[in-house]
Copies of this chain bind each other. A is one copy, B any other.
């Protein structure tokens, strides 16, 4: 009952008003709760109070819906990375993004569920890749050799692995009650052993 946009759901008009958005947010709820495999177009239609085939009109099919979510996720990620001033900060933001948008994150990296050749997805992905590349070269604008590329892969792997394990509750015992972002800062400090700017405590 949240769509402040339009009270169309309660008032039974023929047109929903913003079905696309309603289906998307409902899908994100379901995915965050029970994973992408628990997602059913018919259930989403039921939640939105429309007929079972209405969502298909907006997304084509199941893969289309997931693809739209992934594309939105890459856009959000690009915005979240923004203008990180170094690789470590980019990693922190990467982890923060995964925690704030777990459903998007999960779908983005489940290639089997997506249509890889989708145009919108491609551009969104490229956008995020640009943001990542910017963070890699931000440390030393002149350095574009293999070392920089390797550092980028290392930072991405570390951040991605940490975020993935975190969302899968594989690190519950290890991080305890600590703020995951602070833990990741410590990990990143190990990777870039230049102590760099010290880690500010929040």
- Interface of A with B (CB < 8 Å)? 34-38, 109-113, 149-154, 156-165, 168-171, 174-175, 183, 186-187, 190-191, 193
Q: How many copies does the complex hold?
A: 2
Complex A-B: 30 CB contacts under 8 Å: A35-B111, A36-B112, A37-B37, A37-B113, A38-B112, A109-B164, A109-B168, A109-B170, A111-B168, A150-B186, A150-B187, A150-B190, A152-B174, A153-B162, A153-B174, A153-B175, A153-B183, A154-B190, A154-B191, A156-B161, A157-B158, A157-B162, A157-B165, A158-B191, A160-B161, A161-B161, A161-B162, A161-B163, A190-B191, A191-B191
**Given A34-B112, A158-B161, A158-B191, 18 more contacts at CB 8 Å?**
A37-B37, A38-B112, A109-B164, A109-B170, A111-B168, A150-B183, A150-B190, A152-B174, A153-B162, A153-B171, A153-B174, A154-B158, A154-B187, A157-B162, A160-B161, A161-B163, A164-B164, A190-B191
A156 touches B150 (CB 8 A): no
CA distance A156 to B161 in the complex (A): 8
Complex Cα–Cα for A161 and B98 (A):
13
Q: A152-B174, A164-B164, A174-B149 are in contact. Are A157 and B112 (CB under 8 A)?
A: no
A190 and B172 CA atoms in complex are apart in Å by 26
Which residues in B have their C-beta under 8 angstroms from that of A37?
36-37, 112-113
- List, in ascending order, chain B residues with CB within 8 A of A111's CB: 35, 168-169
The residues of B that contact A157 with a CB separation of less than 8 Å are 157-158, 161-162, 165, 187
Query: Given the complex of chains A and B, what is the CA–CA distance between A49 and B36 in angstroms?
Result: 30
Instruction: Tell me the complex Cα distance, A175–B152, Å.
Output: 11
